[in-house]
Every structure is written in structure tokens, then in C-alpha cells.
Structure 1
Amino acid sequence: MGRKAAEQRARVLRALNQLRHQIGLALGASRNARESAELNLAKLRLEQVVVRTGMERAAADPELAERLRDPAMRDVLSWLGSVRNQFYAEWADGPSRLRELVSATAPGPAGRPPGEWLGRVGTGQGLSAPGLWRIGSSTVDGSAAGRTPGTELTFDVAVPLLDESHLAITSAPRTRDTVDAIVENLLMRVLSTFEPGAVKIHLWDVGQLTAVLPNFYALSRTSAVTVHDPTRLVDLLDEFAGHIRRVHGYTMQAGYSSLRALRAATGKRTEPWRIGVLYGNGEDLQPEQLRDLKRVASGALDAGISLILVDVPTVLGGSVETISLLDERRAITSMTGPELVVDLDPPLPAGQVTTAASRIAEALVAKQGGPRSFADLLPTEYGTHSSASELRAPVGFFEGEPVEVVIGDATPHALIGGPSGSGKTNFLYALIGALCARYSPDELALYLLDFKEGVSFAGLAPGRKDSSWLPHARLVGVNVNTDREFGLALLRFLSDEMRRRSAAAKDHEVTNIAELREQDPEGHWPRIVAVIDEFQYLFAGRDSVTALATSLLEDLARRGRSQGIHLILASQDIAGIEAFWGKPAVFEQCTLRIAMPKARRVLAEANQAAVAAPRWHAVINHDSGVAHGNQLAHVPDASAKGVFPSLQRELWQRYAAGHGQPRLFDGAHAPLLETSEAFTGLGLAERPRALVGQSIDVADTAQAVELSPAPGRNLAVLGTSTKEALSVLDSATRSLARQYQPGDVEFVLCCAVDTCAPAVTELADRLTAEGHKAGVVAADELAELAGNLVEELPTSGIARILVFYGVDGALPLLERKEPGKPSGLDHLRTLLKQGPGNRLHVLGWWRGIARLKDTLGFGGTDDIGAWAALDVQGSELSPFCGGQVVHWAPRPGRALFFDRTTHAAPEVIIPFRRPEADDE
């Protein structure tokens, strides 16, 4: 047992010793590997420092020289030297290839000597930019490229800029003039490459209030160069940020990732390039400024913005090239690496730069051509644009460049503000004209409503002097300041259209108008633009009209965009619209804001651009009124005599054959019965309808009372207004006459108001001339007539229409009765109750509610199924309207109509105008 234990113990010890040996080997190998890795890492770091510093300068640097004398590091320089020699050996034709590259990539002013271009105005259209811009040259020893030692090979050095990269410049002591020369050289090359206006330069210098690049002074008086306040870097960054958002919005919507891609695909330059030159002082920016600068830099290139930072210590995201000055004439760049020293081009001659800047400025002013005319807003070919994705048209010019308004998914609705005389109406005409010239009536439908007293849009419908009309217009409403119901009718129509389009989109399994048009090419789906001038009148009262209009407008503002329905709301001042207090939905959706000079509350609260806007200008803002979205535009005169009508006649001649004239609603003029489509379209009918007045609606319709055999099919006209009362009874009677064959109806007219006698006689003569049986009964004969008609009720073979003028005036006569016999009033009540079932209907005029109640007696109001109230207060009408509260204040030329068989609530109508009434 003892021997076995000793053997076992010996085996264990041998195993442990072997394990210790293996662990020792592993630890040694690990230690050696770590030391080797640390040495390699140290070499790599040293190589990095040497490469960054340059091999020649590294040998002269005491600290680096000490590190290179380390035996472990001695081969770093020799290895780098062999790599460099191998590179140069393979780069025998490198300098010549670089010269060819710069020549091809930096053509014209971008790379040629200044004597060939300085002072000449550029002609480039700005669709694409050179890839490189020359700043100097560099020289290498020819021996490194297989040439005779001592031979110097020189090549051009250039840096990317527009669309390609930002540029960071770091100065050396006493090199400010050199930095200015670099910047001036680059900017002048850019400005001389393109036509004036294709590039805009922004200068900001933290250390100077003025005199930034003084040779560019002439350009600073134009839009080509803008010098920014050194204390307000935030304003410049906000402007760039807003521009990036705006450009990104419409490029992405068009399906492109950048402005360059959009230009390449469309062949059009929609935006100028922008170069922001920021001079710092070597100190860190404030954290907020640094954050905003980095945010701008990250999206700037895609939006056509390039930054040149001078002594601004920061690391920008994206593509950035660097120039680090060594002294007043030399620099190293990220394009050539630290080994190659760049000999910077000499400064451009100051006098020649000043002259060149002046010539470019003069060319820019000449290109702008001074104030533009309305004709400059119009395209060369009409009706060639598609509205599937958006509506886009110029409305003015800023220094010769067109300023566009875009109406689409991103900016679905517009808010326009400007005090009286600020040019708001002129702007609307410029906008309407520019849109209609680009889009056909199949692409764009206009609904135009003007609440103020005037005829701003009246000329867009046919008139006595000009029979043409704007084919895009479907509705033109003017002088509707007292007819708020018409604005409500328009909103209802748009809401119904929105639901119709939404249902069609659902059927085709799409979500917006563009997709619907693609899936249903045979459908008629134009974009609808509703322009409501002085829209605040729609919310002038605290009543049901305001409540309904607010609800409909909010719904349209939220959901209309996807169905291609857009609102343009214009007003002199929106400050007092109580209907929207606490309901900002409408204004939030009006992301397109247009402020005329001195306009208030249209732009954002801190945006005061409209205060300083000159006459005939407008501030166009697609960013909900925030200052960075401002675009100032000079708006041409579109409302001068003959200017817009000339365009309208051209469009009318082109499109009128396929598009009918718009519905014209003029609140200042009552419609004529003879010209009403509701009247002219009448014919023989089993259930005739008595027209009582024009509906206040988008469609050209009239309100009518159907005289069926049902109980209560009588009409009462209420109020003391003689003119309107005569009109209602006249239109009701004449419209009924058109629906009967002569001999099938008898009209009995009775007048108890002497002043109305001529009108009643004239109506009877007209009916007789049309072949109908018609007679006039004196008031004192009314009682006898009523008794005879009651006796004939069951046996009468023809229809009878009793038209009573001033029934209340005959009540004393009707109330007389002989003992044991019914009075004339009793007979009249019988006719009202039993007449409709026996083809007899009463059309009566009572000059007061109380008198009508006296006429009806205790039988209630059921025998009057329809009524038209004139100068009667709404509170008096409640018993004749099912007890509901009636909101009605009498208005000249208007009536309140209610038919209990068709109406849930009374509706405002316009009594037809009797031509004879003008002579009475």
C-alpha cells in the first residue's frame, strides 16, 4: 500500500510539473505576442505621426527624432522611404496625369489662368458644376518619378466645392491676406463660370462688421453677395436650415435625393448654388452655434450649399477638404497630403477683381431687366403642366429670378394677408393667371368667392361688355358680404366633393389624388383651388353659420390635401376671428403664408418681414411663416386695365368649347326669373312647383313649393316689404302657369293693397296672354268668392290657384257674418284646410304674423305648409317652424323660406327681381 501511494504521488507531481511547464510556455508566448503587438502598434502610431508631419520635417523635429533613434523604431523611416520610392517609381507619369485631371475637371475659369477669364461675365447655365477649382500648384523632384535628379515636375492643385465638398481653411500667423486671396480666388472663379444669378454668396466674419472681401463691394449691392451681421450667426444658419428643408421637401417629393440629381434629371435649374463663407478667429463656437453649424453642414451639399470655414475649429460631417497654411505663400492640403507643399496662386489683382465684380453686378441687373410685367409670369406654351402631384407657378420676381408658389401635399393651403391697398387683389390675379396659363381646366378647377363689397372676380364670368370667361372657374361669387350662407354652401360643396373623391380612392385602393389619377385615368379629377377673399366675414356672427363653417373648414383643411382640394384664404386682418380662438387647425394647415406690405398676424409672430416690404411686393413663405422661409417677390401688375382680360380671352378661345361658363353669384343683384335655369327648365308636370326665390347655393337652383294634394300645400308670404312680397307671389304664380296646359288651371287674384293693384293687373294680363283663365277679384268680393269656391270644391274639374295680396287687409270684410251662416273667414279657413286635396291652393301675403294667426284661428299652423318671411324677426317664426329656434334678422332683398315637407331648418333665399318693379 505504501509503494502504490508513493507511485501515485509521483505521477501527480510529474503531471503538475508538466502543467507548470506548459503554462510557463503559454505565458511566455503570450508575453512575447503582447510585446510584439505593442511594438507594432507603436510603429504604426509613429508612422502615422511621421506621415502627418512629413518625412523631412519629422527628421528635423527634436521629439520625433528622439523617438526615431530608438533601435526598435529605426526601420520606420527606411520603410516609409521605401514605400514612397515605390510609389514614385510607379508614379512616373503622375504629374502629367494630374495636370490632365485638373484640366478636364476644372475647365474654363475653374482652372485656367486669371488672364483668360477675369473680367468676363460667365455664361454657364448652372445645370452642372466643375468638379475641381484651382488654388495653386505643387512641385516634386523628378528623380522620384524616374527622371534626371534635380528635374522638377509641377502639377496643378485644385479642390472640390459646389455639390462636392465643404472646405476648411486654417491660417498661420500673419496670413489673413493670404486667406482672403484664396477665398477671393475661389469665389471669383465660381462667379465667372456661371451666368449672373446662378450663385449666391453669404459672408460672415466674426471679427468684422463690414469690409469682408472689399473687392466684392459692387456685388454686395445685388443678391449675388450678402454680408451678414457678425453678432447674428444664428440668423445665417437658420436661413440655410430653412433653405435645406424647403429644397429637401420638393426634391424628395419629386423622387430625387439631391438638388444636383433633380437638375440632372429635369435639365432645369430651380435654385442657385449658395456658398457660405464663415470667418472665425480660431476660438470654439458656442455650443448652440456649433450644433446648428454641424446640422446645416450635414444636409447642405444635397441642397446646393457649400461652406468655406476659415479658422472655425470644428469637425464637420460629410465631405470636407482642408487647406492648412504654412506661411504667406505655402500650404498643405488634404487633396495632396502633408508631404507635398502647395505653392498658392498669387492674389488676383485688386483692381481687376473690383472691375470684374462691377461687370458681373451690371450683368445681373441687366438680366433682371428692372420691373417685370404680368406677361413674364406666363409660360411660352399654355396648359402643358400636370397637377397630379402639385400646382406650381411663379407669382413674382426677386432680382430677376422667378419666385414660385407651390400648392400640394407639403403646402396644401394658403393664407394671404394685407391691409386695404396693399396689393392683395393684384396678387390673387397674378397667382390665378400664372396657374391657369400652366394648367388646363382638366387639371385645375377654381372656386372664387369675394366677401367684400366689390367685383374683384366678376370679370372672370361673362358680362355685358365681355362675353368671355375664365374656363378654369366653376364658381364666381362676388358681393357676398351679407350672404354668409353662400360661403357655407361652398364649404358644403367642397366637403361633399372631398367625400366623393375619398370614396373613389377607397374603391381604387389608393390614398391620394395622384395615385387616384394614375389608377383611374379616365376619371375627371382636377385639383380644386377655392379662393375665399375676406373670409373672416364667414365667421362674423355667433350663430349656426359660424359653427358649421368652422367645422367644415377645419375638416377640409385637415383632409382636403390628400384629395387635391386646396384653400386660399385671404383677409385684410385675421386678428379678430374669434371663431378660431382655441382651434388652430386651419392656420396650422395653411403652411403657405403670403404677406403683403404692412400685413399683420400672417407670418410667425417674430417674423417682421412684411413690415419692411416695399409696395408691389409680397413675402412668400412656405414654412408656416417662420423667418427662414421668407422669399421677397415683386408682383407684376396683373389687375391693370386689359392685362388679365387679354389672357382670359386667349384661354377662353382655347378651352371654352369643352368647358361651360362658371356659375356667377352676385349678392348685389337679384336674379331675373326669366333667366333662371329653374324657370326656363319648367314644363308640364303632374305636381307643379311654385318657385319662390333663388337658392343661395353653389348650383344655380331655386327653392320651390310642390303643390301636391297633401294637406297644408299652401304658401304664405310674411312681412311688410311690398317689393319682395310682389316678387315672391309673381314668381310663384308665373312658374306654376308654365306647368299647366291652358284650360287646366284657373288663377284667381285678389288684392287688398291698393298700391299693388297695377302689379296684380299686369300679372293677370300676362297669364291671360299665355292662354290661361285668370281674373282679378276686388277685396270686398273676397268673402263671396270664398263661399262659392267652398261649394265647388268637390266638383271642380280644374286646378285653381288663389293668389291673395294683403289678406290681412281684407280680414275686417271676411269677419262679417250673418246670423246662422259661416263668415268669409270661415270659408277661407275651409279653403286652406280642404283646398289642396281638391286641387285648390292658396298663395297668400300677410303683412304680420299675428294677422296670419288670426286668419288661421285656433286650428294651429298645419294649413300653412310653406312660408317665406321678409322683414319678420326670427323669434316670431318659431310656431310655424315646429317650435325650433329661428335665427333670422331681416335683410334687404332676402327672405327666409321654410317648407316643412323638405326642410329641417329654414333657408335664406333671394326673391327674383321683377323688371317692372324698377319702374314702379
Structure 2
Amino acid sequence: MTTDDSVADLARLGDELPLAHQRVLGSLEAATRRHEQATAARAQAMRADQQRAVALARNRSAQQVIEFGGYVRDNTETATNSAVDDVLATAEYVQLGHLELPGHALGVNEDLELPWVVPLLGRSNLVVFGGDDQARSIVHRVVLAALTGTAPGQLDVIGHDPHLRGWLAPFSGLKDALDGSLYVVSSADDLDKTLDRLIADVQRVTDTMRGSEPTLLDYRRTVGYPAERLQLVVLLDYPIGVTDTMHRKVTTLARVGPAAGICLVVVSGNDTRGGSEGAPQPDRARELHDFGEIIDQRSALRWSRYPHCSAHLSAPTVDEVIKAVADLTARMRTAGGPQVDFVDVEDLNDRWTRSSAEGITFALGRAGRDLVEVRFGDEREQRHNALVTGAVGQGKSNLLKVIIHSLSQRYSPAEVQMYLLDFKDGVSLYPYTSTPHSPDFLPHARVLGLESDRDFGLAVLQEIDAERVRRAAVIKPYGDNIARYRHQVPAATMPRIVLMIDEFQRLFEPGDDAIAGQAAQLLEGLARLGRAYGIHVLLASQSISGISALMARESGLYGQFPIRIGLKNSPQESVATMSVGNDGPARLRHRGEAVINLDYGSLGANRTVTIASAQDDILDSLRHTWWELARDTCPAPAVFDGARLLRPADAVPSIRRLRAARLTAQSGAPSAVIGMPISVSAVPATVTFTAEPGRNLAVLGAGEKLDQLGAAPGETAANHAIGVLQTAALSLALQHPAGDARFVSIELLDDSTASRNNMGPWHHLMARIGFPVDIIDRNGILNFLQEQADAIAEADPAGPATYILAFGLDRIGRLDTPDAFANTPAEVLRAVLRDGPTKSVHVLGWWANTATYQAHLGFAGDGMVDVMVFLRVDQSAVHDFLGPFVTWTVRDNRALWTDRTQLPEPTVLVPFSPVGDQDARVITTAEWGP
């Protein structure tokens, strides 16, 4: 190829190069466009996918938010609506209103609304900052929610209101249901005392749990009943009036209180001054941040846990609070407290296995999971006696039953004996004695005082003191106490003695007489000295505040009782039971709860106990079993029923013994049974009619209590003057088996009195036992007396006995009108009284009017009548007969008996009532022997 050809080719290529370049650029542009179109298509597809994914995500998120909101509401319902019928129900969480979160923040269309629930009782504290109006509403909402969400009666509200705002006033109705359910103080001193008590409560609760559970709520659920109290403490205008020391106490409570069931609600306003001088202080409420929930409503209402949510309070009106409190108090009045069964504290299969040589122990109930027992006779601890108090209806009788049956289950009658006195109504002791329908009795009981009176109480103290003296003589060669004696003489029988007196304060009423003085002296001696000889005293009462000073001053009795058991009572009685400053029993809330203190009532020694429930069916079965085991070796207890009428049939055993004694001796004077002395021995009061001057009987005073119309109240005849004479005649007749006695009845009674008091049936009964009665009426009395006086003058002293019974002798009037021979009927009566006994003629007469009696006997009457029974005769009249040093008070079913030659001093007795149908059946069917 030539050069020209090469040039030509180059020229041609030069012309084609732009075209080629153009084609390449076109291809690139086309490729770029296609790429951009593809990229745009892919981007559009991706955006569409993204939009679909976002939409799906938003839908899923919205659904989850909705589901979460429902979950929150469901759980809120569960957490804040506990079954208040459950005794363990507790407002651990309370709902204050609702929280709102804008929907756009969550990518949803609607704003989110959730319940506003805060932890409270047992969980946390609450600190509120801000203005007064809304702060008050928050307080109302919190307190009301806490009360209504907790089992009725389980929560106390305590307030400090230094500015006397009265924010807690709508809750004052709580006081009507349970004392102490609402307690508000305003002074700094009172707040300081309250903080000290709360800190002591924390310590007590901690001791009760003993580290077994982290919180009181956990502990309550574990043991299955509401041990201890829950407390909501509302501190308004904090820290007004709060010193540095007090603030440290508040901080301590904020830290440890919730675990012990104590929750603080602290309200702090704009005024942050505190201290005793009111000087500016740091915002102390903020120092509580770490121990509770914070609600700040100074600008907008916010809960510190979720500050991005706006909070909305559901505030109750004052009227709504008052109505809700009224409903709550109604439930509180009927709410039952915790219960522990007797079988939970006493093993029914472990019977009589314990020895009392070193002391005795009985169960009371439970404190949490712990069995609570009390021990008498421990020489190391020196706790030998107990004092029990409790207001009416708080379970004192139940507590005493638990003690009695716990001791009786653990120890045999050879190890423990009981002297049980009831100065109330005696109902609780009736099951322990045999009755015609139930022959079993409590074999451990030696004495049962049913409706005891002071005379019998004194007699029991004298009996036990005599036993103390006897034991001292027995023990002395072996040491100085029962434990050493039992150790050295293991075969010896010397049971511990428990003296239990319910409503013992009545022994000291009126407080300034001989019985009160003797009772105080004997009780103090038994409480102080009896311990060495196995004698222990348990005194119980509803009220001792009125006699505590007397006890301390007169005898030092109070200091002999280190064990103090206080059921719910007034603050005054609680302090009287425990010690100054210790009102623990007043702060109990439920029947059957008690504060037990083993250190003379020292405040730090309180322990709250749930007393076991004495189930009657179980206890009845136990007593029957004990009786079956001991019936052949244990005598029935001596029973004194101060209100029961003494029936003539009750005299049958005594008359049988008197009859047998006369038959055995073939001689001896008969004795009339006239009543029952108020003593432990139950030996009847008898009057022996020997052939000696003065052996006559005068019954003086009204025989029954009459109403304004002159009729005896009630349906049962109870003219004791008639009853004494009827029973005396029956007992005398049955001591003359040979029939060598005559009975004459001078009857001056009106028909109504004679009928109501069964004079006709008495005549019939006397005839059935072989001694028909000669009846002398008003018209024949003067002739009879003259004939009797003439016969006495000529009678043989060894002849048959004559018993003249005069019913209502004062109704004949004065006997000083002379006859034609200047003799007066009074002189004839005096001759019979003076000369009759030496000829075996004895007068047993009733004068309702003592002045008439004195007129009949005249100034020379001394020595004519040795035996007198005073019924409704006032003390001044008794002094006329017996001198100024005799103490006597007119009482129903009581008489004062004196025998100038046989008794060292006048004696109170229960007189017999008139004969009834049952008495007649018993006497006529009894086995009297030959």
C-alpha cells in the first residue's frame, strides 16, 4: 500500500471517528437511561416495600400497644382490687388515676391511656410535692384506696398535721369502728413519740419474723393469717416542726418501714422550713427520693417513674370519702380477726405427760408461726404470777378457758390443782362441775366459785394460805421450795396450785372494809410467798385502773405480777395493766388478740399474740376424758354458787350424817341445819339444841325482797325466814327416828305468803316423815303460850323434845297488855324462852321487825336466845344486838348467823329457801337407814 492510500485511509477514518464516538456516546446514554430507569424502578419498588413494611410494623406496634394497654389494665385490676373478704387482703398497689402518652410518640394515631398505679403498703413510700388543693386530693385518694383495698380493720392511719389543715377529717368515722384506726397529732412532741413507737413496731415485727421472710406481707402469707398491723403514716407539710433528730427517724422509717408493714405518705409544700426554731432547712423531703415514689405537681402532675407521661388524678369528693368510710366502718364492726384453733397450740394426744416439779407451762396462742407459752415457777426467770385484763367482749373468758384446758391437758390432777373463782356471772365455770344431766367435772378443780361473793373469795384465800403454811412445814426439812422437795422426795405428791380469780377487783370493793383489807393482805402474801410452795396466782379483770393505787399502796400486790397479758382495752386501762407509757393493748384491733409482756409491763417487752379459740365441743370432750380417767381418784370440786337458792334437798347429805351420828351415839342433842356458811369446806351451818338455857333460835328481818305491792318478785318462793324454819324442822325431825319429838307451828302469815312459800306442802312433808305438825293460829296463840309455860314448869328434862316454830311472830303485835291477874303475854313468852330449853322445849321463831322482837324479850332478854339469824336487817340494827365492830351489808340470798356460845364471831351464810316439790321427792325417797 502506498503512502497516498494510507493518508486516504487515515482521512476516511478521521471522518468516521466522530460518527463512532457519537454512536458510543449514544450507546452510553442509552445504557445510562436504562440503568437510571431500572434504578428508579427498583427504588420505587423498594420504597413501596418499605412503605408496606412500615405500615405493617406500625400496625403491629399499634396492636402491641393496644394489647399492652389491655394487659396493664388487667393487671391493674388484679393488683388494686384484692378480695377484701380475705383477711390477708392488702393494698400493695393503689390506682390514683390514669397516665397519658401522645400517640405520635409511639407512631400510633391515638394517645395511649394507662392506669396510674403506684406501689404502696408493704412495697414503698410516697412523696408528694406541690400545691395544697391537689395534694389534698392525692392524700384522700391514697388513703381511701389503701383502706378499701385492705381487709377491714387491718390498717391504721396515722397523721401529722402541723398546720391543722384537717385533711384527714373525712376519715374520722374510722374511730367509731375501732379505736386507734385513725390517730392524728399536730405537735412536734407528739410526732416524736409517734415516730419512736413506729420504730419500736419495726423492731417488734422484725423480731416476730426472725428473718424467715423478707417482708411482713410475705410473712403473713406464709403463716396464713394477718400477723401484726399495717400502718399508713401521713406526714403533712413536711418538714414543718421536724427536727434533725426526728428527720433521721423519718428517714429510717422510710428505709425499713415498708418491709415491716409501715408506709409513709409525705406531703411537702413550698414552705420548706423545719426544725424546732422554724429556721430555713434543706428540702428534707427530697432526701426520701431513694425510698419511695415521687409525685411532683408543682407545675404539671408527673410521676417520677414515667416523667414523659402526663398524670391525671381521679380525686374523690369529700362526700364520697365520707360515704366510703361509713361503708368501711360498717364492715370493720363485723370483720373477724385472725383465728388460731386450740388444736393448733395443744397436742390432744399428749395427755398428762408432764411433771410440775420444776414449774408449769401453758399455751396461749401464736405470734406468727411461733407457739406462745407462759411458764410459772421458773426459779431462774422468777415469773410466778400473771395479771390479765381486757375490755368487755374482747375474749377474756376465752383466754382463761384456754389456760385452764392447756394446763389440764398437760398435767394430771396429781400435778396441778386449780381454785377457780368468778366474781362476774359464773357462766364460764358451770361446765366444770357436775350436774344432774352431766355428772362429769373438771378433776383438776378443787374449788369452783360460781358468782362468788367477797366472803367466799376471802374464805378461799384463807384456805390456800393455810395450805401454804402446811406445805412450808412439809418442805422445810428438804430446802426452801417445792422443786427441791420434789427432787429429794420423788414419790411425794404435791401438786402446783393455780388460783384464778376473774374480776378480782370486786374483792376490794368498796375498798375500805375488813374484807378488802384481809383480801389484799392474803393475796399479796400468796403472790409473794406462795411461789416457793408451788402456789401461783392469776388475776383477771376488765378494769384495774380504779384499784391499782390501792393495790400498790396497801399491799404491794401489783409488783408481784411480772407477767402481764392485756387484751384490747382503753388507753387508761392498758397503761394501768402494763406500765407508764405502754398502751399496747389499746392499739390492738381484734377480739382475741393480746399483748403479752413478761417484764412487768416494760414497753420494749410487748409481744402481740393471737389467743387460741377455745372450741367448746373439743374442750367438752377433753374434760369428759379427763373425768373418766380420774373419777375414782379425784373428788368433785367444792362448788359455791352465790346466786343459787339453797334448797332443803341440799341438806339431805348433812342430815343423813347427823342422823347417823345420833344413832351411833345413842344420845346427844339434835342439830338443826339452817344454811351453808360461805366457806370452802361446805360444812353446813347447824344449831345444836342442847338442854341448856338460851338454846333458842331467832330469825330477824324481812325474809324476802318485796315490791311496792307487797308481793315477792319472780315465780320462785324465796322467803328465807320461812325456808330456814322449815328446813330446821325437817332436819330435827329426821334426827328423832324414835318419834320422840313434838312439832308445833305458830302461823301468823297471811294466806298469800303462806301459799307462795308452800306452808301446806311443808305440813304434808312433815307428816310423811312421821311428825305431823300441831298448828296454832292467831286466836290460839296466847292460850298455847300459857299452857306451854305451865307445862314447862312441871316437865321432865329427859322427856320428849318440843320444837315451837313461830312464823311471823311480830305480827301478833305488842304483848304488854296485862290480863286480870296483871300478867302480860310477853312475860309468858319470856318464860317459855327462858325456861324451855332446859326442859327440851325450844323456840325457833321469825320476827320480821327487830323492834317488836326487842319489845317481846324486854330489857331482861339477854341470855334467852343464843342463836340469831339476821336477814334484811341493816347494819345499825345489827350493831344494837352484836356491838359496833360487826360488818354486815344486806344482800339477796345471804344471812348473818351468830351463836353466842358456839361461834367465835358472826358468820355469813346462804340461808335455805322454802320447801318445793322437788325437795319433797328427794327427802321422801332418800335412804335414811334405821
TM-score by length of 2: 0.58
Which aligned pairs between 1:890-901 and structure 2 lie closer than 5 A? 890-901=890-901
Residue in 2 that maps onto 1:800: 802
- Residue 599 of structure 2 corresponds to 623
1:407 corresponds to 2:376 = yes
Determine the C-alpha separation between the residues in 1 that align with 2:469 and 2:648.
Answer: 33
Distance 1:918 1:637 in 2: 39
Give the whole-Å Cα distance in 2 for the aligned partners of 1:491 and 1:919: 33
Could you tell me whether the CA contact under 8 Å between 1:875 and 1:887 is conserved in 2?
A: no
- Matched residue SS, 2:783: helix
Give the direction of change, closer, same or farther, for the CA distance of 1:852–1:214 in structure 2 (3 Å limit): closer
Quickly say closer, same or farther: Cα 1:607–1:231, change in 2 above 3 A: farther
Shift of the 788–431 alpha-carbon distance from structure 1 to 2, 3 Å rule, reads same
Structure-1 separation of matches of 2:847 and 2:917: 20
Shift of the alpha carbon at 1:520?
A: 4.1
Deviation at 1:521, TM superposition (A): 4.2
User: What SS class does the counterpart of residue 631 from structure 2 fall into?
Assistant: helix
The residue aligned with 1:222 is 219
* 1:441 paired to 2:413: yes
Give the Cα separation in 1 of the matches to 2:553 and 2:344: 42
Equivalent residue number for residue 724 of structure 1:
720
CA contact (8 A) 2:696 2:867 kept: yes
Indicate the SS of the match to 2:594.
strand
- Structure 2 vs 1, CA of residues 826 and 905 (structure 1 numbering), >3 Å: closer, same or farther? same
| Paired position in structure 1 for 2:905 | 905
Kept after mapping to 1: 8 A contact 2:471/2:533: yes
1:642 Cα deviation after fit: 1.7
CA drift of 1:549 comes to 0.8
Instruction: For 1:844 and 1:204, locate their aligned partners in 2 and report how far apart those are by CA, in whole Å.
Output: 70
Matched, 1:752 2:748: yes
Shift of 1:454: 4.3
Which of 766-775 and 467-476 deviates more?
A: 766-775
* Overall identity of the aligned pairs, in %: 32
Alpha carbons of structure 1 residues 522 and 764: separation in structure 2 relative to 1, 3 Å: farther
Q: How does 1:349-368 map to 2 (within 5 A)?
A: none
**Equivalent position of 2:68 in the other structure:** none
Question: Following the alignment from structure 1 to structure 2, what is the Cα–Cα distance between the partners of residues 205 and 437?
Answer: 36
| Pairing 1:376–2:344 present | yes
Q: What residue in structure 2 maps to residue 139 of structure 1?
A: none
User: Against the structure 1 CA distance between its residues 215 and 475, is the aligned structure 2 distance closer, same or farther, given a 3 Å change threshold?
Assistant: closer
**SS in structure 1 at match of 2:501:** strand
- Return the alpha-carbon distance in structure 1 between the equivalents of residues 434 and 202 of structure 2: 60
Distance 1:636 1:834, change over 3 A: same
Distance 2:212 2:616 in 1: 46
Cα offset, 1:519, TM superposition: 4.0
Which SS does the other structure have where 2:795 is aligned? coil
Kindly indicate whether the alpha-carbon contact (under 8 Å) linking 1:674 and 1:680 is maintained by their aligned counterparts in 2: no
Aligned residue pair count: 574
Alignment of 1:679 onto 2:678: no
SS at match of 1:889: coil
Q: What is the rounded CA distance, in whole Å, between the counterparts of 1:699 and 1:733 in structure 2?
A: 24
Equivalent in the alignment of 2:392 = 420
Counterpart code for 1:695:
P
- Note closer, same or farther for the CA distance 1:624–1:665 as it changes in structure 2 (3 Å cut): same
Q: Is the 8 A contact 1:550 1:579 kept in 2?
A: no
* Alpha-carbon distance between aligned partners in 2 of 1:866 and 1:851, rounded to the nearest angstrom: 17
Residues 723, 915 of structure 2: 8 Å contact kept: no
Contact 1:742 1:773 in 2 (8 A): no
Answering whether residue 560 of structure 2 is matched by residue 589 of structure 1, we say yes
Q: What is the CA-CA distance between 1:805 and the residue it aligns to?
A: 1.0
Q: Aligned to 1:475, which of 414, 434, 447?
A: 447
Would the alpha carbon gap of residues 609 and 775 (structure 1) be closer, same or farther in structure 2, given more than 3 Å must change?
A: same
- Match of 1:524, SS state, is coil
Which stretch shifts more, 857-866 or 710-719? 857-866
Aligned to 2:465: 495
* Cα deviation 1:771-811 (Å, max 9, x = unaligned): 23531112222222222222222424211111011112224
Question: Could you tell me whether the CA contact under 8 Å between 2:762 and 2:915 is conserved in 1?
Answer: no
Pairing of 1:174-253 with structure 2 (within 5 A)? 217-218=214-215, 221-222=218-219
With over 3 angstroms needed to count, the CA separation of the structure-2 counterparts of 1:402 and 1:781, relative to structure 1, is same
Q: Say which one has the larger Rg.
A: 2
Structure 1 residues 471-620: aligned runs within 5 Å: 471-480=443-452, 483-506=453-476, 508-541=477-510, 542-577=512-547, 579-583=550-554, 585-598=556-569, 600=574, 601-615=576-590, 616-620=592-596
Q: Secondary structure at the residue paired with 2:885?
A: coil
Q: How far apart are residue 583 of structure 1 and its match?
A: 3.2
Deviation at 1:654, TM superposition (A): 2.1
Q: Is the 8 A contact 1:875 1:885 kept in 2?
A: no
**How far apart, CA to CA, are the structure 1 residues paired with 2:915 and 2:555?**
47
Asked if 2 retains the 8 angstrom alpha-carbon contact of 1:780 and 1:810, the reply is no
Q: Would the aligned equivalents of 1:764 and 1:776 in 2 still touch at CA under 8 Å?
A: no
* Cα displacement (A) at 1:376: 2.0
- 1:523–1:712 Cα change, 3 Å: farther
1:490–1:698 CA contact under 8 A, matched in 2: yes
Aligned counterparts of 1:214 and 1:623: Cα–Cα separation in 2: 24
Give, in angstroms, the shift of residue 822 of structure 1: 3.2
For 1:644, the equivalent position in structure 2 comes to 619
User: Residue type matched to 2:892 in 1?
Assistant: P
Query: Are the structure 2 counterparts of residues 726 and 401 from structure 1 closer, same or farther at C-alpha, using a change threshold of 3 Å?
Result: same
Listed as ranges, the gaps of 5+ residues in structure 2 are 1-198, 234-243, 250-337, 663-667, 705-718, 921-930
- C-alpha displacement at 1:905, in angstroms? 2.9
What does 1:287-366 correspond to in 2, within 5 Å?
none
The DSSP-based 3-state class of the residue aligned with 1:556 is helix
Preserved CA contact (<8 Å) 1:560 1:566 = yes
Equivalent residue, structure 2, for 1:396: 365
- SS of the equivalent of 2:613 reads coil
Specify the SS of the correspondent of 2:612.
coil
Alignment of 1:731-746 (within 5 A): 731-746=727-742
Q: 1:898 offset after TM fit, Å?
A: 1.1
CA distance in 1, matches of 2:684, 2:745: 24
- Taking a change above 3 Å as real, the CA distance of residues 872 and 219 of structure 1, as seen in their structure-2 partners, is closer
Q: Which residue of 1 aligns with 2:642?
A: 667
- One-letter amino acid matched to 1:698: V
CA–CA distance in structure 2, aligned partners of residues 550 and 518 of structure 1: 33
Are 1:694 and 2:684 matched, yes or no? no
Please give the alpha-carbon distance, in whole angstroms, between the structure 2 residues aligned to 1:795 and 1:867: 26
Looking at structure 2, the residues matched to 216 and 782 of structure 1 have their Cα atoms a distance apart, in angstroms, of: 90
Provide closer, same or farther for how the CA distance between residues 824 and 608 of structure 1 changes in structure 2, counting only shifts above 3 A: closer
Amino acid at match of 2:494: W
Q: Aligned in 2, Cα 1:473/1:231: closer, same or farther, shift over 3 Å?
A: farther
Identify if the C-alpha distance between structure 1 residues 464 and 377 changes in structure 2 by more than 3 Å, giving closer, same or farther: farther
Give the residue type in structure 2 aligned to 1:711: P
Structure 1 residue 581, shift from structure 2 partner: 4.6
TM-score (ref. length: structure 1): 0.59
* 825 and 388 in structure 1: CA distance in 2 versus 1, 3 angstrom threshold: same
- Give 1:654's match in structure 2, choosing from 613, 629, 633: 629
Instruction: Indicate the SS of the match to 2:599.
Output: coil
Q: Give 3-state SS (helix, strand or coil) of 1:529's partner.
A: strand
| Alignment match, 1:779 | 778
The 3-state SS of whatever aligns with 2:409 is: helix
Secondary structure, counterpart of 2:699 in structure 1: strand
Q: Distance in 2 between matches of 1:569 and 1:412?
A: 12
What does 1:119-138 correspond to in 2, within 5 Å? none
CA contact (8 A) 1:458 1:477 kept: no
Task: Please tell me whether the aligned partners of residues 450 and 642 of structure 2 are also in contact (alpha carbons under 8 angstroms).
Answer: yes
The amino acid across from 2:219 in the alignment is T
Tell me by how many angstroms 1:597 deviates.
2.0
Residue correspondence of structure 1 range 62-211 to structure 2 within 5 A: none
Judge conservation of contact 2:433–2:442 (CA < 8 Å) in 1: yes
How far did residue 836 of structure 1 move?
1.3
Q: How far apart, CA to CA, are the structure 1 residues paired with 2:725 and 2:760?
A: 13
Change (3 A) 1:772 1:203: closer
